[in-house]
Amino acid sequence: MGRIEYAKGISQLISAFENIDDTDFELHIVGRGSAENIIKNIFDSRLIYHCFFNDKDLYALYDSCDVFVFPSYHENLLAVILEGLSSSFYVITSVFMKPRFDEFEKLSSLEYVNITEQAIRKAIIRVKDNLEHIRSIKRKREIYSTISEKYDWKKLVGQLCDHITKV
């Protein structure tokens, strides 16, 4: 979900997906951007591309999915990962996000991977092989609590003001 850009690791994600032999496995991509042509040139019925969703349809899609893969090379706004976590997804993200989400890694809700086709594919297969366990983990309350504790807007604004004052 979000902008479909090369810097978001979209090429590696799609390569990883294409090399997973599982007809029950689907990859949903939501968003628009300069790398859309990669998606549009793939003829695999398991890849489902959604240019845009209203909130109601997006949340319905969330309910039907288990994993959120975000192999971005860099991300200044971490809201996308927080949205994935707060929607109870298991999140696979790039090592470039380390150490920002270590507390979620400790909750077994997130893992960091290198942005290579092989590393992403292995992580997805590992999750797929443990899907029943991942689905059974009741981590939503803990995740929500951690997000609201550490990423509450009032707290973030206070931290920003403190940082600006120090500069």
| Domain carrying residue 14 | 6-166
Q: How far, in Å, CA of 110 to CA of 127, rounded? A: 11
**Interhelix angle for 140-151 vs 153-166, to 10°?**
30
Task: Report the chain's terminal Cα–Cα distance, integer Å.
Answer: 35
> What pLDDT sits at residue 1?
60
CATH code for the domain of 85: 3.40.50.2000
Beta bridge partners of 49: 29
Place of tokens 């893969």: 69
Asked if residue 134 is part of any domain, the answer here is yes
Contact predicate 32/3, CB 8 Å = yes
> What pLDDT sits at residue 17?
94
> What pLDDT sits at residue 55?
83
Domain count, the chain: 1
> What pLDDT sits at residue 131?
87
- Rounded average pLDDT over 86-99: 90
Q: How far, in Å, CA of 24 to CA of 31, rounded? A: 23
76: tokens are 């200044």
Around 89, how many Cα atoms within 13 Å sit in the side-chain half-sphere?
A: 23
- Rounded average pLDDT over 78-93: 87
3-state secondary structure 26-42: CEEEECECCCHHHHHCC
> What pLDDT sits at residue 142?
66
Convert the pLDDT of each residue in 21-73 to its tens digit.
Answer: 888 889 999 888 998 888 888 888 899 998 877 888 888 888 888 899 999 99
Does an H or E element contain 138, and which? none
Type of residue numbered 100: R
Asked if residue 1 is part of any domain, the answer here is no
Asked if residue 59 is part of any domain, the answer here is yes
Around 104, how many Cα atoms within 13 Å sit in the side-chain half-sphere?
A: 32
Mean pLDDT, the chain, whole residue set? 86
Convert the pLDDT of each residue in 147-161 to its tens digit.
Answer: 777 777 778 788 888
% of the chain surpassing 70 pLDDT: 94
Residue 12 pLDDT level (bands cut at 50, 70, 90): very high
Q: Is the pTM of this model over 0.85?
A: no
Asked if residue 52 is part of any domain, the answer here is yes
- Rounded average pLDDT over 10-15: 94
